[in-house]
Structures are given as C-alpha cells and as structure tokens.
C-alpha cells in the first residue's frame, strides 16, 4: 500500500470554507467538491464552527430555536388547538344531525307490498 500524506489546511482556509457554506447556503458536498476537499472534512469544520458559535445543530436536536422560530411554533400550536376545538364542535353537530336523521328514518311509515292471493288452483299444484 502506497503511503499517503495527510493534507493540512491552515485556519484561514478552514474559516473561508465554512464561511462559504454558511453565507451561500450551498450544500457542504458542493462546496467541498468546488474546493477539492473531502466533504466529511468540511462537514466537521462546519459542525465545529456551529458548536463554537453556540448553534449546535442537527446531531442531538439540542439546539435552541431563534425567537422568530419560537414565536412561529407557539402560533402554530395555538392554531392547532383552535382547529381541534372547532373540529370537536363540528363533530358533535354532525353526530346530532345523524341521530335526528336516523330517528326520522325509523319513525317513517314503511311501504309494505300487499300480499298477492294465490288462487286455489295454484295452491293445489304446490
């Protein structure tokens, strides 16, 4: 197996690569390919930068949300609660209407066909 030397990147290069990912919003793999480095290496640099900035993202889900995201989450939860209440009310109304319709159906006179009388001759054949 041929010996490979490990490439070393200076801090300025690392910071520049992380800044490109952060500012452009491009996927890490695309930026890594453009810079000629391994995508996992760049991903690690980005993760270290996020941790250093206090924005722990993705891995443990322990990151904090920005205030705007927290406000939106609270608003969506309120909307959901309102919709659940509204649905329960509508469901109660539908149940009541269904019960009333079933009662009307059960109370309605049914049409009964009159029996046909069988003649004595036919009865004799049976």
> What does the pLDDT look like over 98-113, one tens digit per residue?
988 888 887 777 666 6
Give whole-number Cα distances, 24 to 2, 20, 30, 101, in Å: 38, 6, 11, 62
Q: Greater confidence, 68 or 19? A: 19
Per-residue pLDDT reduced to its tens digit, 75-89 = 999 999 999 999 999
Q: Each residue of 23-36: pLDDT tens digit?
A: 988 899 999 999 99
How many Å apart are CA 117 and CA 17, to the nearest integer? Answer: 98
For the whole model, what pTM was predicted?
0.42
Q: Give the separation between CA 37 and CA 112, rounded to whole angstroms.
A: 87
Residue 6 banded pLDDT, cuts 50, 70, 90: confident
d(CA 41, CA 57): 17
In percent, how much of the chain has pLDDT > 70? 75
* Cα within 13 Å of Cα(52), Cβ side: 8
């Amino acid at each position: 197996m041929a010996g490979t030397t490990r490439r070393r990147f200076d801090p300025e290069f690392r910071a520049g690569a992380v800044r490109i990912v952060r500012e452009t919003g491009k996927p890490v793999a695309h930026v890594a390919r453009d810079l000629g480095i391994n995508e996992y290496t760049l991903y690690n640099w980005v993760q270290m930068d996020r941790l250093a900035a206090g924005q722990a993202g993705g891995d443990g889900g322990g990151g904090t949300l920005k205030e705007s995201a927290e406000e939106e989450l609270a608003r969506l939860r309120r909307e959901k609660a309102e919709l659940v209440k509204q649905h329960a009310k509508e469901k109660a109304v539908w149940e009541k209407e269904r019960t009333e319709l079933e009662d009307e159906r059960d109370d309605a006179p049914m049409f009964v066909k009159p029996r046909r009388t069988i003649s004595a001759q036919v009865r004799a054949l049976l």
